[in-house]
A and B are shown apart, each in its own frame.
Chain A
């Protein structure tokens, strides 16, 4: 709609042309892949023993889970946590088995974002009831999937074994580090080595200082790259996302899962997908039952970031990225087809929202308990 009397807002005037956005996107993707290689290399400057000592804390799966939750809550992005984990596994600093709980923790941690978004409705009772339930049903689903699959994984290693088998089909033996020489990995590996040499030879740093600087640089690069990739993709895909959300209003089931997954791949953030649902749920135009499969799709779509990171991380990195994808896929297959199980996260979320309406302390206790206290205790008790 054109509105002649209304001046364009500054943000609208500053919009970049599409081709510039696409070029920026490619540059940011390159920065992201370089950061993945750089992070793996950062620990190599430490030496094997020191690196092993650094990650000994996550040998306990509950500590690994807690680290995954807390790291994701702190950076407000599961993509950063999973990409970092893929980089560490790819470089051999962490074993696949130790990384699995961290990846599961990232799934839990990422759902804090839409819970915080639902707080925006807190002054309007009914809106808040719907919005808070809409946000927490995602949490409850993730917690249910974790409660079922973490013990199974610890007992059988089912996800790891399946992912290893898939890796051998796609690339190479995940145990044989470096056997798969993708041109992307070789290119960014060369660039990362130049940066490492600059830090060690030109700046004269070594040991912890060199590793710390490289690690910090890699983390900043990952966060910046993912932040801007998400922003650009959101602008580029706004019209498609809007259309997808309009489709979701009238649909349930498998197609809504597919829409959620595609939207998340398009904007490269499950938090954006699930957070966009909250105002619609709050306004009452989107039911919890219709929104639920979209959040499941978002869980699946977000695993693409890990797979992208695996392009620069090698076979072991690909394996842990596949574990993430299998974990979310299996979660959907376990919960969604059975109506009683499918409705459980929704009912639990509605119950919590009703209590939150009676007493706002439930909101504080829930957020603090699940996203801060639980992971902190996990780290303190099991490290």
Chain B
């Protein structure tokens, strides 16, 4: 009973509480990404990693569902003035949840291709992974601080990371058999670059919410002329 009364503290409610849960989703998303990459790039046992990753991902999904329920309550109590914040939060939780999904995809690749450490792009991928992991941590900090300047810098950096992924994918796809590799290896590498790109794109969506209006969420890079 007293525990329940303590939880009735208004400071621990509403968007503030949802923000805290969303922050945990981002942290856990980064954890799943690091876990999956440890299996693909650093030789960690994929079976052991999978158990921890699935558990963390289920936690992320649970948080998303909790936030959705709380958003309905929030919009019901506060009415129309809180709809923009509720819509933004709904969109952002989907982005955070997708990071965990792509981490599972990376782990699937690691399960089928356990020797990525020997592949030609390994060094670049490891460096890229470290930069994306750091960016995921930054995304949470920037979101919490609501700092528009840092958000703009993050968006620029995410463009660089995405371009690097695209360049490598193109490089792999147009390669004309200069190297003597089995065909599955470039496919696995291209897939992982693609997943890396999606992870950083979802983190960027989170940060762009600080600098764009609701209708432009997820469409930051499209010009104003396309808006009706």
- Chain A residues with CB under 8 Å of chain B are 1-6, 9, 11-12, 238-247, 249, 255, 276, 279-280, 283, 285
Q: Select from chain B the residue with minimum beta-carbon distance to A234.
A: B77
Other A-B contacts than A243-B9, A249-B73, 8 sampled, CB-CB below 8 A, are A3-B84, A5-B211, A9-B80, A9-B81, A11-B81, A243-B10, A255-B4, A285-B72
From the candidates A6, A242, A249, name the one contacting B74 in the complex (CB within 8 A): A242
Provide 28 A-B residue pairs closer than 8 Å at the C-beta atoms, listed in order of the A residue.
Answer: A1-B15, A1-B88, A2-B146, A3-B84, A4-B210, A4-B211, A5-B213, A9-B81, A239-B10, A239-B11, A240-B8, A240-B13, A241-B77, A242-B13, A242-B73, A243-B10, A246-B13, A246-B70, A247-B7, A249-B69, A249-B73, A255-B1, A276-B76, A279-B75, A279-B76, A280-B76, A285-B69, A285-B72
**B85 cross-chain contacts in A, Cβ below 8 A:** 1, 3
**A249 cross-chain contacts in B, Cβ below 8 A:** 69, 73
The verdict on A283 contacting B4 (CB below 8 Å), with A1-B15, A243-B10, A276-B77 known, is: no
B1-45, CB under 8 A of A: which get 1 and which 0? 100100111111111011100000000000000000000000000
* CB pair A1 B89 closer than 8 Å: yes
**How far does the alpha carbon of A341 sit from the alpha carbon of B205 in the complex, in Å?**
51
Q: Select from chain A the residue with minimum beta-carbon distance to B69.
A: A285
Q: Is the interface of B mostly helix, strand, loop or mixed?
A: helix
**How far does the alpha carbon of A241 sit from the alpha carbon of B13 in the complex, in Å?**
9
**How far does the alpha carbon of A12 sit from the alpha carbon of B78 in the complex, in Å?**
11
- Least CB distance from A264 to B in Å reads 14
* CB pair B8 A3 closer than 8 Å: no
From the candidates B4, B77, B84, B146, name the one contacting A242 in the complex (CB within 8 A): B77
From the candidates B14, B75, B146, B210, name the one contacting A239 in the complex (CB within 8 A): B14
**A247 cross-chain contacts in B, Cβ below 8 A:** 4, 7-8
* CB pair A244 B72 closer than 8 Å: no
- Least CB distance from B63 to A in Å reads 14
CB interface residues, B 156-214, toward A, < 8 Å: 210-214
B30-70, CB under 8 A of A: which get 1 and which 0? 00000000000000000000000000000000000000111
Q: Select from chain A the residue with minimum beta-carbon distance to B13.
A: A243
**A2 cross-chain contacts in B, Cβ below 8 A:** 146
| B interface bracket (residues with beta carbon within 8 Å of A) | 35 or more
From the candidates B4, B17, B78, B213, name the one contacting A238 in the complex (CB within 8 A): B78
* CB pair A6 B14 closer than 8 Å: no
From the candidates A11, A238, A255, A283, name the one contacting B77 in the complex (CB within 8 A): A238
Q: Is the interface of A mostly helix, strand, loop or mixed?
A: helix
- Least CB distance from A275 to B in Å reads 9
* CB pair A279 B72 closer than 8 Å: yes
**How far does the alpha carbon of A251 sit from the alpha carbon of B101 in the complex, in Å?**
31
**B9 cross-chain contacts in A, Cβ below 8 A:** 243
Cβ of B148 < 8 Å from any Cβ of A? Answer: yes
**A5 cross-chain contacts in B, Cβ below 8 A:** 211-213
Q: Select from chain B the residue with minimum beta-carbon distance to A242.
A: B77
Q: Select from chain A the residue with minimum beta-carbon distance to B9.
A: A243
* CB pair A4 B77 closer than 8 Å: no
CB interface residues, B 69-109, toward A, < 8 Å: 69-70, 72-78, 80-81, 84-85, 88-89
- Shortest 8 CB-CB contacts between residues of A and residues of B: A239-B10, A243-B13, A285-B69, A242-B77, A245-B73, A1-B15, A279-B76, A9-B81
- Least CB distance from B20 to A in Å reads 11
**How far does the alpha carbon of A65 sit from the alpha carbon of B168 in the complex, in Å?**
79
* CB pair B13 A239 closer than 8 Å: yes
**B13 cross-chain contacts in A, Cβ below 8 A:** 239-240, 242-243, 246
**B72 cross-chain contacts in A, Cβ below 8 A:** 279-280, 283, 285
**B88 cross-chain contacts in A, Cβ below 8 A:** 1, 3
Q: Select from chain B the residue with minimum beta-carbon distance to A251.
A: B4
* CB pair A280 B73 closer than 8 Å: yes
- Least CB distance from A164 to B in Å reads 33
Q: Select from chain B the residue with minimum beta-carbon distance to A235.
A: B78
**B11 cross-chain contacts in A, Cβ below 8 A:** 239
* CB pair A245 B81 closer than 8 Å: no
**How far does the alpha carbon of A238 sit from the alpha carbon of B16 in the complex, in Å?**
14
